[in-house]
Amino acid sequence: MKTANGIPLLGYGTYPLTGAECRDGVAMALDLGLRHIDTAQLYDNEKDVGQAIAKSGVKRGDIYLVTKVARDNLGRRHFSHSLEDSLAKLDVDYVDLLLIHWPPEDEDFDSAIDSLCAAQSSGLARAIGVSNFTIPLMRRAAKRASLPLINNQVEFHPLLDQSRVREEAEKLGIVLSAYSPLGRGAVLKDPAVVEVSKRLGRPPSEIALRWIVQQGVVALPMTTKTENAKSNMRIFDFELSPADMAKLTQASKQNRRLISPTGWAPKWD
For residue range 189-221, what is the model confidence (pLDDT) as tens digits?
A: 999 999 999 999 999 999 999 999 999 999 999
Rounded to two decimals, what is the model's pTM? Answer: 0.97
Centre a 10 Å sphere on the Cβ of residue 110 and count the other Cβ atoms it contains. 14
Nearest to 117 by CA among 76, 145, 87, 153: 145
Cis (ω within 30 of 0) for the bond into 16?
A: yes
Q: Where are the domains of the chain?
A: 12-254
The second-level CATH assignment, the architecture, of 12-254 is: Alpha-Beta Barrel (3.20)
Q: What is the pLDDT of residues 1-29, one digit of tens each?
A: 787 789 999 999 999 999 999 999 999 99
pLDDT at residue 4, as a whole number: 76
Residue of 12, 15, 43, 179 marked active site = 43
Q: How far is CA 95 from CA 29, 92, 251, in A?
A: 18, 7, 36
Is-contact 209 231, C-beta < 8 A?
no
Catalytic residue at 43? yes
